[in-house]
Amino acid sequence: MQVEITREYIEQVEEAIERQDREFILSTMDEMHPADIITVLYELDANESRYVLDQLPAEIGAEILSDLDNDIRSEFLDKFTSEEIARYINLMHSDDAVDILNEQSVQRREEVIAHIDNNEQAAAILDLLHYEEDCAGGLMAKELIKVNLNWRVRQCIEEVRRQAERVARIYTVYVVDDRDKLLGRVSVKRLLLSKDDTQVKDIYSEDVIWIESYKSENEVVNMMQRYDLEAIPVVNIQGRLLGRITIDDVVDVMQEQAELSRQLMTGITENVEEDDSVLRISRARLPWLIIGMVGGLLAAHFMGFYEDDIALLPAIALFVPLITATGGNVGIQSSSIIIQTLSSNEVMFDNIAQRMLKVFLVALLNAFIISILVFSATYLFKQDFTLAMVVSVALFSVVMLASLMGTITPMILDRFGINPAVAAGPFITTANDLLGLAIYFGVAHLLYSL
């Protein structure tokens, strides 16, 4: 059911909570998707949300808790006892359960696990807790359907039926040997189309793409996108089937990565949203503003060496914004292109020399065009040949050097295992401001004293 959540409805819910009207909550939310109920909860305060959650069936509550925004969830769960959390954890998919446990303190985590009464679930969770959150192992869930190579179709369909309750989305049935080594897959469709006493080994396909548990989130995304997969099995180093990652989790990872890279590019250090507190947004934004400020003060200090030149020839100062802005723009463009290549993780046979040659040629062409334009404009505007030469020669050098810096910095960061997107934001801009000024005043000093 698709519902539109109106302000009136929120108000009705608030009134219903006030008068403890359980019926109103249950009857209106019965047909709602958990994602829509979450939208309603976000408009309520913590106590009101708690009241709503307590009225809903535990399965719906578990889905809601799985999908809540991390920050809000961890604040919200602080008011729950370990036993209450365990009751919901019991009903969750193992990957969501582990995400929630990872948000708790170590002591709290132990308490919650002790209260999980479904043994299979507890074992799955303990297993998943071993993996780092941002690797394939940390993304996978234990819920999947696997059948043995030697089973017959009848037994497989039996297994599908048995597991169907627990595994929300089947997608494919994995085929393993007696030691749980992943051998291939067989679709439910294929099982349906085969005779009951056919053996799995006669109908399964070896054509299965898997990923090792230690691979990074990024590799998971690339792999699932490259091969258009809706689920990917995760294996250990011996090829044993450990779990499965589904596309909905990968979509969330992609969204997070896109936001993260946008934030890195804009110099925001924490994951903030518009509805976070003033202090939090301010704190997330300050570090890069301060770095930019230090860069600006360094620029002032540096230009101080040329204060006499400026007094003599104030026209020089007029072109400072042109120089710094162009350096910044070119640097960000260059880093953006190389970061895209680095993150797409494509097989690249081109060697470094060839790539650098291309960077050099693009820079040369753009530097040439921009310099000619600026030379003409400055000459027309100031009627000063030397000044026009100084500005355009400096600009030419700035474009060349900013391209080089913008390309090399992300490559170096990537080599050292640092997210190269860091280099696309204020870092490149600040560095290029200083570089640009050094070139500009250097050229001015040189050409004017000729």
In the set 26, 72, 129, 254, which binds a second copy (CB under 8 A)? 254
Of residues 113 and 363, the one with the C-beta less far from a second copy: 363
Q: How far apart are CA 187 and CA 286, in angstroms?
A: 53
In the set 26, 44, 149, 286, which binds a second copy (CB under 8 A)? 286
Q: Kindly calculate the radius of gyration of the chain based on its CA atoms and give it in whole angstroms.
A: 30
- Give the per-residue SS3 of 46-82: HHHHHHHHHHCCHHHHHHHHHHCCHHHHHHHHCCCCH
By CB under 8 A, is residue 228 in contact with a second copy? yes
Interface positions, 330-389, toward a second copy (CB under 8 A): 330, 332-333, 335-338, 340-341, 346-347, 349-350, 355, 358, 361-362, 365-366, 369-370, 373-374, 377-378, 381
CB of 250 to a second copy, least distance (A): 7
Q: Residue 170's closest CA among 154, 155, 191?
A: 191
Of residues 105 and 351, the one with the C-beta less far from a second copy: 351
Interface positions, 89-128, toward a second copy (CB under 8 A): none
CB of 297 to a second copy, least distance (A): 5
Interface positions, 56-85, toward a second copy (CB under 8 A): 67
In the set 278, 352, 353, 450, which binds a second copy (CB under 8 A)? 278
By CB under 8 A, is residue 273 in contact with a second copy? yes
CB of 83 to a second copy, least distance (A): 28
By CB under 8 A, is residue 441 in contact with a second copy? no
Q: How far apart are CA 309 and CA 448, in angstroms?
A: 10
CB of 169 to a second copy, least distance (A): 7
Of residues 86 and 387, the one with the C-beta less far from a second copy: 387
By CB under 8 A, is residue 41 in contact with a second copy? no
By CB under 8 A, is residue 270 in contact with a second copy? no
> Where does this chain touch a second copy (CB under 8 A) — which range of 18-26, 115-123, 196-204, 252-260?
252-260
List the Cα angle 390/394/399 in 5-degree steps: 155
In the set 46, 123, 126, 297, which binds a second copy (CB under 8 A)? 297
Interface positions, 197-226, toward a second copy (CB under 8 A): 206-207, 209-210, 224-226
From residue 165 to residue 194, the character string flagging contacts with a second copy as x (rule: CB under 8 A) and all else as - is ----xx-----------------xx--xx-
In the set 81, 117, 196, 262, which binds a second copy (CB under 8 A)? 262
CB of 20 to a second copy, least distance (A): 24
Of residues 146 and 285, the one with the C-beta less far from a second copy: 285
Of residues 243 and 295, the one with the C-beta less far from a second copy: 295
Of residues 381 and 446, the one with the C-beta less far from a second copy: 381
> Where does this chain touch a second copy (CB under 8 A) — which range of 15-23, 249-257, 411-419, 442-450?
249-257
CB of 322 to a second copy, least distance (A): 3
In the set 247, 404, 408, 438, which binds a second copy (CB under 8 A)? 247
- Strands 173-176 and 146-148 come out as parallel
CB of 105 to a second copy, least distance (A): 29
- Give the per-residue SS3 of the chain: CCCCCCHHHHHHHHHHHHCCCHHHHHHHHCCCCHHHHHHHHHCCCHHHHHHHHHHCCHHHHHHHHHHCCHHHHHHHHCCCCHHHHHHHHCCCCHHHHHHHHHHCCHHHHHHHHHHCCCHHHHHHHHHHCCCCCCEHHHHCECCCCEEECCCEHHHHHHHHHHHHCCCCCCCCEEEECCCCEEEEEECHHHHHHCCCCCEHHHHCECCCCCEECCCEHHHHHHHHHHCCCCEEEEECCCCEEEEEEEHHHHHHHHHHHHHHHHHHHHCCCCCCCCCCCHHHHHHHHHHHHHHHHHHHHHHHHHHHCCHHHHHHCCHHHHCHHHHHHHHHHHHHHHHHHHHHHHHHCCCCCCCHHHHHHHHHHHHHHHHHHHHHHHHHHHHHHHCCHHHHHHHHHHHHHHHHHHHHHHHHHHHHHHHCCCCHHHHHCHHHHHHHHHHHHHHHHHHHHHHHHC
From residue 124 to residue 153, the character string flagging contacts with a second copy as x (rule: CB under 8 A) and all else as - is ------------------------------
Binding residues for a second copy, rule CB under 8 A, total 122
Of residues 32 and 113, the one with the C-beta less far from a second copy: 32
